Amino acid sequence: MATVALILNAVTVVLGAFQYGHHIGELNSPQKVITTCPDPENPPSSFAVAGLSAAAAAAVGGPTLEKVGSLPTCIPMTNFEWSVLVATLSLGGLVGSLFVGSRLADRLGRRGAMMVNNAPLVLGSLAMGMASSYGTMILGRFLIGVGCGASTVIVPLYLAEISPAELRGTLGVMNQLGIVVGILFSQVLGLYYSTETEWRTILLAGAGLGVVQVFALPFCQESPRYLALQPGGTAKAKRSLQILRGRQDVAKEIRDWTRQDERAIVAEEEGTLGTSPLLNEIGDPLLVGGAGDSGDDINGISATHGSGGLSVVEFVTMPRYRRPLLILSLVQLSQQLSGINGVIFYSTAIMSQILPNSGAMITVYISIVNVIMTVIAAYLMDKAGRRTLLMVSASAMGISSFLLAWSLNYEIPKLSAFSIIAFVATFAIGLGPIPFLIIPEVVDTAAVASASAYALSVNWTTNFIVSVMFLKLQEWWGGNVFYLFFVTLCLLTVAINRVIPETRGKTVEEVVKSWQPSHRH
C-alpha cells in the first residue's frame, strides 16, 4: 500500500528524472532560432554553412551578432555542430553513469548523492543559458550530461529500494514518467519561448529545477536498504522504513531483503556456500543468526551485507553475473537502437519538412501522448509483465518506424504525424521504462549500483552514436533512415524473446533460478 510519505519521497527524487527529461527536449524546438541569426543583409548562416563558429566568423570579418543585453541573440552552427552539441549530453551522461552515479550513491547514500548531483545540473544550465559561444554551450551541455547520467543511476535505484514488492513495477515506472513529463515541460516552454530574445529562458529553467530539488531533498528519507548495508545502520534502516510504510512492524521485510539477496548468490553458485567471494566476505545470513530470528531482533542485518558493494569491473567479470550482464546489455541497446532519441531530439526538424507550420505543435502532441502512455505503462507493468511489454513495444515500434519511413518518402503528412506519435507511444509502454526498472530485478543488492552504472554506460554510449549520426543519416537517406530502425527493431524483438526472463512479481532468487539449467524448457 502506498503511503503519503512513500509518494512524496518518490516524487521528490523523481525530480532528478524530470530534469533529465527537460534536458533531453530543451534543444528540440529552439534549434532554428539559436543557430540562425536575424541579419537579413549579412546573415551569419553563410559562415555557419562554411563550418565557422561565431568566434571564427567575427575573426574573418563576419557579421556582428545582435545582442540582448550583453548576450548574442544567436550562436551560429552547422547541422553537424548542432548534432555534436545535442549528443554531448550523452558523453556527459556516460561519465556520470559510469564514474559518478554509483560512487556517489554508495558513499553519500541515495539522498546525499542526489543533493550533490544537482551541482553539475545547475552549473551546466547556467552555462548554456548565459553562453555567448559554441564552446560554452558544449561545456554546459557536458556538465548537464554528467548530472543526468548520475541521475539515471540514482533515481531508479532509490525507487527500487523504497518500493514494497506489490508496487515495485508501478513505482519503478515513475522514473520514466518523470523523464517524459520533463520532456513535455521543455516542449511547452519551447512552444512559447523559441524566439530570438527568449530562447535562453528554456535553458535557464533547468537551473531552477535543480534548486527546487536541493531544497526538497532534506525532507526525504534515506533509502532503508542502503542504511541496512552500513555498519550499525540497522536501527536507522528500520526507522526509515517505518516512516515510508506508515507502520511499526517492518522487521520481516528487512529480513526478507537479506534472504533474497544472499540466496540469489547461492542459487547462482548452485547452492555451494563458501565458493562465492562475496559470501566469504559477508557470511551467510541464515547462519549468522540475524535473518533467521523472529520478531523485531534484526541486529545482524548490516553485518550480513557488509559496508559496500561490488565495483563495475567486478560486476562485469564475475561469472555469476554473466547472464544479468547479457540481459542488461540487450535491454539498454534495444532502447537506444530503436531510434527513439532521433525522434525526441529532432522531431520538430523531422516534421517541419512536410508540415512546416506545425512541427513544433506536433512535438508537443508527441510529448503529451508519451506522458499518457507512460501512465498506462505504470498500470500495465505489474499486470502484463516486463518481457511481454518489451516484445509488444519493440514490434509495435518497428511497424510505426516502417510507416514513418514510407510516409516521409511519399510525403503523406497525416500518416507521418500518426506514425511518429505511435512510435513514441509504443516506446513508452515497454522500451522506455523497463530497461531502468529491470536492473534491480535481475541483480542482487550488493551489485545493483555497479550494474546500474554499467547498464547506463551502454545506454549513453549508444545514445551518443545515434544522436550524432541521426541528422547525417537523414541527410543522406531521407526518410529511409527509419527503415534502418525498422530492421533493427525486428532483430531486437527476436533477441528479447530468446534472452529476457519474466521478472514480474519474482524475487531476484526466483529470477536467477529461471535461467539455471534445471529450469530451462
Q: List domains and CATH numbers for the chain.
A: 4-36+74-222+318-514 (1.20.1250.20), 231-306 (no CATH)
Task: Categorize the per-residue pLDDT at 46 as very low, low, confident or very high, splitting at 50, 70 and 90.
Answer: very low
- The long-range contacts involving 218-222, CB below 8 angstroms and separated by at least 24 positions, are 218/115, 219/8, 219/12, 220/8, 220/9, 220/12, 220/13, 220/111, 221/5, 221/9, 221/111, 221/162, 222/109, 222/110, 222/111, 222/112
Which of 29-33, 289-293, 304-308, 353-357 has maximum average pLDDT?
29-33
Taking only the tens place, the pLDDT of each residue in 384-403 is 888 999 999 999 999 999 99
Query: Which has the closest alpha carbon to 257: 276, 275, 280, 240?
Result: 240
For residues 392-416, give the mean pLDDT: 93
For residues 88-116, give the mean pLDDT: 88
Query: Which has the closest alpha carbon to 156: 461, 432, 493, 505?
Result: 432
**3-class DSSP assignment, residue 73:** coil
Query: Which has the closest alpha carbon to 131: 141, 121, 122?
Result: 141
Q: What percent of the chain clears pLDDT 90, i.e. is strictly above it?
A: 41
Is pLDDT above 70 for 41? Answer: no
Contact 329, 467 (CB under 8 A): no
Of 48-52, 103-107, 184-188, which range is least confident? 48-52
Is pLDDT above 60 for 51? Answer: no
- The long-range contacts involving 4-9, CB below 8 angstroms and separated by at least 24 positions, are 4/246, 5/221, 5/243, 5/244, 5/246, 6/162, 6/164, 6/171, 6/244, 6/245, 6/246, 8/219, 8/220, 9/162, 9/220, 9/221, 9/244
Taking only the tens place, the pLDDT of each residue in 234-267 is 888 888 888 988 887 877 777 776 665 555 555 5
Taking only the tens place, the pLDDT of each residue in 303-333 is 233 334 678 888 899 988 999 999 999 999 9
Q: What is the model's pLDDT at position 383?
A: 80
**3-class DSSP assignment, residue 119:** helix
Give the global pTM.
Answer: 0.76
Of 55-64, 386-395, 438-447, which range is least confident? 55-64
Q: What is the model's pLDDT at position 264?
A: 53
The Cα 202–Cα 205 span in angstroms is: 5
The Cα 354–Cα 365 span in angstroms is: 16
Q: What is the model's pLDDT at position 351?
A: 77
For residues 198-212, give the mean pLDDT: 96
Q: What is the rounded average pLDDT for all residues in the chain?
A: 81
Task: Categorize the per-residue pLDDT at 516 as very low, low, confident or very high, splitting at 50, 70 and 90.
Answer: low
Is pLDDT above 90 for 122? Answer: yes
Which of 52-66, 183-197, 231-245, 500-514 has maximum average pLDDT?
183-197
Task: Categorize the per-residue pLDDT at 125 as very low, low, confident or very high, splitting at 50, 70 and 90.
Answer: very high
Identify the residue with better confidence: 59 or 164: 164
Q: What one-character DSSP code corresponds to residue 96?
A: I
CB atoms within 10 A of CB 383: 12
C-alpha dihedral (366, 368, 373, 378), degrees to nearest 10: 140
Is pLDDT above 50 for 508? Answer: yes
Q: What is the model's pLDDT at position 52?
A: 39
Identify the residue with better confidence: 313 or 356: 313
Q: What is the model's pLDDT at position 141?
A: 97
Identify the residue with better confidence: 29 or 60: 29
Of 39-53, 146-160, 306-320, which range is least confident? 39-53
For residues 53-78, give the mean pLDDT: 63
CA-based radius of gyration for the chain: 24
CA angle 509/328/470 to nearest 5° reads 165
Query: Which has the closest alpha carbon to 366: 173, 172, 188?
Result: 188
For residues 272-276, give the mean pLDDT: 35
Strand ranges inside 97-181, DSSP E: none
Task: Categorize the per-residue pLDDT at 232 as very low, low, confident or very high, splitting at 50, 70 and 90.
Answer: confident
Is pLDDT above 90 for 12? Answer: yes
Task: Categorize the per-residue pLDDT at 68 as very low, low, confident or very high, splitting at 50, 70 and 90.
Answer: low
Helix 4-25 vs helix 199-216: angle between axes, to the nearest 10 degrees? 160
CB atoms within 10 A of CB 242: 16
